[in-house]
Chains A and B, each alone.
Chain A
């Protein structure tokens, strides 16, 4: 894939949240979060309703923190329109004028930024997101993925040092998703400070070096993706296994320290694995050695909520 991003920014920007909270009446959406987002790609991961958008809007200057401070390079973000010289924002909400063409929309962004040659900047940004072809069609005729890309182009038109994207991959088809992921990675490698929110671990893992996990408004975990992945896989996993001989397989599983509890039920064996990697390599070997056919191996607690609540229970322990 050929991409001609504008020249890398030389000065690095840092977004800093210090003990930031945000509440609505009695409801606390974000609770005492402190984090520093530096150059490179950071993924803000959390289940729906965790407060990701609230946090991102406070970083983007579209929401006042109820407590704490949000700054860009040490300067307060709230009620400071000058920060948008450095920030590019891709909101989750559609936020595009359907009656404008893609070209007019991105060009208007360039002009609103007061760029010296807005047409060149708009053409470059549209190229970057592969939207040069349909640029003369009205945005209302675009698919969701195309609208998303045009929003990204408008956010990139002034070559910002900081890019904030709220659930940017939603509604994109797999090819567009991969392309945008590549683009975000490249922009991060150029030294830009990029934060994007997502509720999908695999998405975040593919793009971000640094991951911040938010659960129920609290900062549950922080680290590079390997660390987060390890924490997520280190937890006890529950599996349901159905086989040609559940009783024999269960006896062999309980004899190994990778499982802490094994029970036989009408639906098969229920296993609690405490050493996930060991369990996953042990199970097929055991089945082969005992000549047992495996019909079904399915995790019973793989939903994100349970993964995240495990993380937060660890972080608050």
Chain B
């Protein structure tokens, strides 16, 4: 067990780099606080975000890193679509329980996942209240092109049997100044992404809005706020939706949602 002799709280960056020579992770951007806002009134359930994410990260079959749920909060409430990426919680239950810190919190708010270290105990899956984590129960099928790529957890293109994976807000794209795959793929511009420190979020249609105003004026909420996980994904309630509601079948669950 690593108890002493290594960077403790805070830590020396040089030492931390030296301690992890195999980690090709970008260290994130100091001072950034990535945040996502999903306007449920604009989501029409087309699942383009899921497809774009799956295509970009070669997400193994069975997993959806951004899953679009069909929700209804109560019997008289309207049905609505709920895209659910990883919430990148500020009080992340998954990070707390990870025995090998294969998942950890970056300074820019992203909860990273290192599949080359994960031992596959699935404690994080048990701990996540958002079902945002998936497990590679088999060795995922990989194309030749995929296999040639080096393991880079910021792009998360390689997948290993017996490890946990999840949405990581596309840090590779973000570092290049591009929006995450799901955000730029959303044809409705329902997903906004940006830096909370800059107080600005941008969607696929190029709208850049003040994050705090957007959330305040639209009564933004966070999923399962009462659990205290402090998610970094905000939802704008599906008020006067601009889309066809989810079909009656299968019956939307009356769980979750905003309360």
Q: Is B one of A's binding partners?
A: no
What is the interface of chain A, defined by CB distance below 8 A to chain B? none
